[in-house]
Amino acid sequence: MKKGIALTLLFVLVSVALYNVISEQIAKTTYTTATVGQEVHALEGDLKIGNEAPSFTLPLLTTKQPLALADMRGKSVIVNFWATWCPPCRAEMPAMQRYYDKYKHEHNVEIIAVNLTESDRGLDKIQQFAEQYHLTFPIVLDEQEQVSKQYEAISIPATFIINEQGEIAHHIVGPVDEPMLVDLVGNLQ
């Protein structure tokens, strides 16, 4: 009987500790939650709407050559954080590719798909994913997930739309679709 009480007490203490850790992490989140696919407006700090997007340079999946966000200045840029194991990421990729095919030139836009490589299933799976979805926009590898931390991409997919001046214009939590991208990027012009 004492063993059962001790185990129950231990379970309660571990549960309370876990709750406190999770609550603390949620409190540190610098953007408000939103319904899947809805824009988030309440960004703070460096990620605030209108601030310059944090710079980064990551290797391309295909060539391992570095791709820098700064090289995209003068274009609108969609920075999308994703992984192959993420069902909403898989769901949005065809829409992103359709958008890219139709509006790359008209909207003067580039898509940078930032793969959370450290938590993904290996480079071969990422390459298979890109081939399966016929992705032609740049895919970069966030191998230590430094950029996803910098952008506080806690939940994926997460998308930042950056205007031609390099400023954060929109932040979306959850999957995007083609009409959403047409609207958000098209209205930056």
The structure's pTM equals 0.78
Regions of the chain with pLDDT less than 50: 12-38, 40-42
Beta-carbon neighbour count of residue 40 at 10 Å? Answer: 18
pLDDT of residue 76: 98
Q: Is the dihedral of CA 97, 99, 105, 108 positive or negative?
A: negative
Q: Which CATH number belongs to the domain containing residue 120 in this structure? A: 3.40.30.10
pLDDT of residue 33: 32
pLDDT of residue 164: 96
Return the structure tokens found at 118. Answer: 């450290």
Do 2 and 40 lie in one domain? The reply is: no
- Within 29-172, residue ranges assigned H as helices are 87-103, 123-132, 146-150
Do 116 and 66 lie in one domain? The reply is: yes
pLDDT of residue 56: 98
Question: For residue 10, what are the domain limits?
Answer: 1-30
